[in-house]
Structure 1
Amino acid sequence: MNLWEDMMAQENTFRLFHVISVCRMVNHYLPKVKISLEQLKHEEIWKQDSENAASIGGIVLHIMEHVKRNTLRLIEVNATFEQGIEDYFPYPHLDKQRMLQQLDNAFAEWKHAMDTTAQEKIDMYNVYHLVEHTGYHVGQIFDRAQRMTGCRFQFVQNGINEKALRESVEEEMRNTT
C-alpha cells in the first residue's frame, strides 16, 4: 500500500481534504497569482479589455474578498454578509506591492483560520467552493497576464504542478499524522 492509499485507509478523509485545500490555495494558487502580477506594469494590472470586463487587479481583489469572507466564516460560523460578491471587481488602482502584501495577508489569515478552527466547525462545502472559485479566477489572471506580456510562465515546468502539490500534501500529512 502506498502512502496515498494508507492515508485514505486511515479514514482521515476530512484531514486530507483540509490539507489538500490549504496546499492548493497557498502552495499552488497564491504563487501563480503573485508570479503573474510581478510580470505586469501598473497600467496592465488595471487594464480592462472592455467596459464590462474586470481588470486583473479587480479579479485579484475579488479573490481576496472571497478569501476574507471565508476566513470570517471560519472564525464566526454564523457570519453573514449584506450582499454577495459576484459583481465585486473593484477598480481602485492599488499599487502592485501593496496588492501583493494584501494578497499574502489574506491567504495567511485564511490558512491560520483553517489550521486553528475545530474540524466540526469547518463547512467543507464552503471550503470546496472557495478553492474551486479561486482556481477559476487564477486561470483568468495568468491567461490574461501571459497574453499581455507575451511571457510564458511555464508553471508546470517550474514546479507549480500537480506532482509538486501532491508531494506537499503527502509531506504535510506525514508531519501531522
Structure 2
Amino acid sequence: MLDREPYADLPDLPRFDLTSEDVTDGGPLARAQLSGIMGAGGDDVSPQLSWSGAPEGTKSYVVTVFDPDAPTPSGFWHWCLSNIPAGVTSLERGAASDPPAGAVRHRNDGGTDEYIGAAPPPGHGTHRYIVCVTAVDVEELEVGPDDSPATVNFQLFFHGLGRALLTGTHEEQ
C-alpha cells in the first residue's frame, strides 16, 4: 500500500460537509460498496451521499471515488460523475446507474461508466476509498463521457471552489 494523499498537491479549497448512510469516515466499506465484478463478494452499488455548505458561486458538482493505494502509479478510479446540477445536494444509493438529469458519467478504471466497488489484491493491506464531492464554478465542465476521471480532475484544478471528503476502507485477506 502506498501512503500518498492525492489532494495534497492540489489547490487548498474550502471544505464543506459530506455525509453518507453507507460510508463512515475512516471505517470499513459495507458489502454493497465492494466489488462483485472484481471478485470481492460485493454488489458494486454506489453509496448514498448528502452534502451541504458548498461555497457561494457553486454552479455544479463532481463526485469521485478514488483508491490511492491501488498497486499502480496512478491509483484506481472507482467512480466519476460530473456536471451534477447545483440544485442537487444528495445522491441516492445506486445513483451511478441512474444519475441526476444533466450529469455526465465517466469510465472508471474497470472500464465501465458506473460505480465499481472495492477489491484490493488479497494481502495488499488496507486500501482507502476517498469519496470526494467538488463544488464547481461552471455549470458544465468541458468534458464528455469518454474523458477519464483524471481529465475531469484536471478541469477541477481550474474550476474547483470547494471540496468535501469521506474515506472508507477495505482489505482483502
TM-score of the pair, normalised by structure 1 = 0.25
Which structure exhibits the higher relative contact order, with contacts defined as CA atoms closer than 8 Å and separated by 6 or more residues? Answer: 1
Superposition TM-score, scaled by structure 2 size: 0.26
Q: Could you say which structure has the larger radius of gyration? A: 1
Bigger helix fraction? 1
